[in-house]
Amino acid sequence: MRWEGLIKTYKDFLPVNENTPMLTLNEGNTPLIRLDKLSRDWGVDLYVKTEGANPTGSFKDRGMVMAVAKAKEVGSDAIICASTGNTSAAAAAYAARAGMRCVVVIPEGKIAMGKLAQAVMYGAEVVSIEGNFDQALAMVRKISETEPITLVNSVNPYRLEGQKTAAFEICDQLGGAPDILALPVGNAGNISAYWKGFKEYNELRGTGLPKMHGVQAEGAAAIVHNRVFENPETIATAIRIGNPASWLLANAALSESNGKIEEVSDEEILCMYRKLASSEGIFAEPASCASLAGIYKQLRNGEIPHKTKVVAILTGNGLKDPNTAIDCSPVQPVLLPNDEKAVADHIKGAVHI
């Protein structure tokens, strides 16, 4: 049967009524891929959910389709968000699809090139501020209180409603919840949404509950250290956030699930970023790889028993951030003359054929 997106598929689980537009870009239904090599090497049963396979290349499409549909339902004709990049891409795309205007506020110089390209192509009004995400979010929250424009950051409850559907899919794909669900944490909306989804599905279908393992970047680890990071810094710009809006909900997910919040260095993130692409053929953006880096760290520390079933969420596509890929890649193109023999000789030497 043709996949028709989240609102139609999960209407019984979502705040959908007869006036809700059936907005969709056929988001959701993303692959759950077993990492065979890493499972063997690490002694666990490891899967990744590739959310980069969504229409705009990140998990944000799940929440955005719901938030934009509900805005449209009540007659709003414009949406606004602050973003480290992926939210702005998703907001701009769904606004275009719904025939609405979109304003995105981003931190100058700190968003990956692919995400900026998306926002401008989808026709958003892009405002770049000399400040960080937390400051941008404070601004758009204020503006949306007084102006006739709908806020679509994850403080909008419809965002979490849409995003919880990924937990349903995992339970269906695996035949139940995994032992551990690992994901990167920035503004902390997604970890809160997943936990809500797992609880709802478990109540209805008895699919079980995972331990929630959130992972932050060391330079932006507010929840880990229980303090605001005034100047968050990390190569994983998607999670360069110092004062997560859904902090309390995330704490509830961590404690109710008997989970854990972890931090990893940029070096650990980049190491996993390269390893995942080169050993499993899966290219996810740096922030996404924090989830696997966190799991690897906990395995080495003996905190995760062998044979544990782990699902790590790869929140965004690697193509979002081509600059980081090129800058940190050990493999650079070799420049040769336009000469068949020279090329053949080089190839024979390089790959030993």
Task: Give residues in contact with ligand F0G (CB under 6 A).
Answer: 58, 60, 83-87, 154, 184-190, 238-239, 285, 287-288, 315-316
Angle at 11 between CA 7 and CA 12, to 5 degrees: 160
- Considering the complex, state which of residue 60 and residue 97 has its C-beta at the smaller distance from ligand F0G: 60
91 is in an annotated binding site: no
- Considering the complex, state which of residue 23 and residue 191 has its C-beta at the smaller distance from ligand F0G: 191
177 is in an annotated binding site: no
Shortest spacing between CB 195 and ligand F0G, in angstroms: 12
186 is in an annotated binding site: yes
Closest CA to 291 of 219, 231, 348, 239: 239
Token couple for 269: 């993130």
187 is in an annotated binding site: yes
Helix (H, G, I), strand (E, B) or coil at 28: coil
User: What is the Cα–Cα distance from 336 to 295, expressed in whole angstroms?
Assistant: 41
Shortest spacing between CB 305 and ligand F0G, in angstroms: 26
- Considering the complex, state which of residue 24 and residue 317 has its C-beta at the smaller distance from ligand F0G: 317
Shortest spacing between CB 185 and ligand F0G, in angstroms: 5
315 is in an annotated binding site: yes
Q: 33-41: long-range contacts at Cβ-Cβ below 8 A with a sequence spacing of 24 or more? A: 33/280, 33/282, 35/276, 35/280, 35/282, 36/280, 37/279, 37/280, 38/275, 38/279, 38/280, 38/292
17 is in an annotated binding site: no
Token couple for 188: 């902390």
Shortest spacing between CB 177 and ligand F0G, in angstroms: 19
Shortest spacing between CB 337 and ligand F0G, in angstroms: 41
Residue for token digits 């309390």? Answer: 248
Tell me which H or E stretch contains 101.
strand 101-107
- Considering the complex, state which of residue 87 and residue 207 has its C-beta at the smaller distance from ligand F0G: 87
Helix (H, G, I), strand (E, B) or coil at 106: strand
Shortest spacing between CB 38 and ligand F0G, in angstroms: 20
Amino acid making up residue 194: Y
- What is 293-353 written as a DSSP string? HHHHHHHHTT-S-TT-EEEEEE-BBGGG-HHHHHHH-S--PPP--S-HHHHHHHHHHHH--
- Considering the complex, state which of residue 192 and residue 308 has its C-beta at the smaller distance from ligand F0G: 192
19 is in an annotated binding site: no
- Considering the complex, state which of residue 100 and residue 250 has its C-beta at the smaller distance from ligand F0G: 250
Q: Residues within the annotated binding site?
A: 86, 186-190, 315
Q: Residues annotated in the binding site for pyridoxal 5'-phosphate, as ranges?
A: 86, 186-190, 315
